Amino acid sequence: MRILVALLALSGLALAQTPDMKTVSGSTAGLYQMAIGNVIKAAEAMPEADFSFKPVATVRSFGEIAGHVADAQYVFCGAAKGEQKAGPGAEKMKSKAEIVAALKSAKSYCDTAYGMLTDANAGDAMKFMRGERARIGVLEFNTVHTYEHYGNLVTYMRIKGLVPPSSQR
């Protein structure tokens, strides 16, 4: 009986963490989960040796892009939480393990910002960059930025003959 109660409690907890895609705030959180999930899966799938890969010398390497995404999460999500938060310097990290860990840590930090978002507080003005933006606007900007760089990672993966996470079935 205790096992059944524990399983039901855990399943309820898992359901409580799933964004309600029928609300504005839940839809915003759900799209973020897809974006950052794809970035993390891409970083996990790319071989360590290819983290230094860049198609031409004038662009960031795969690892630098993934690290940049990790660092940016703190800026965007910190603003949405009313905090000024700098990233851990993941763009300068070299190892796959460090960068993947930085992405997962950044996601955990942002999960709290998206978790705080409600339809009622979505329009709250938050300090962001040189002005103010609605809380939901800051978080949507984060999702767009994350997907922008996921697109870069997809190109690098394709060049290396890998299927990106969003194309896998």
**CB–CB of 111/124 below 8 Å?**
no
* CA quadruple 33, 34, 35, 38: dihedral, nearest 10: 120
Kindly give the confidence (pLDDT) of every residue in the chain, 169 residues in length, as a single tens digit, with 9 standing for 90 and above. 444 333 333 333 333 467 788 899 999 999 999 999 999 999 999 999 999 999 999 999 999 999 999 999 999 999 999 999 899 999 999 999 999 999 999 999 999 999 999 999 999 999 998 999 999 999 999 999 999 999 999 999 999 999 999 999 7
pLDDT at 114: 97
Helix (H, G, I), strand (E, B) or coil at 81: coil
Output the six-digit token pair for 137. 């606007």
Query: How many angstroms separate the CA atoms of 71 and 144, rounded?
Result: 15
Domain ranges of the chain: 27-163
**CB–CB of 89/71 below 8 Å?**
yes
pTM of the model: 0.88
State in words which class domain 27-163 has: mainly alpha
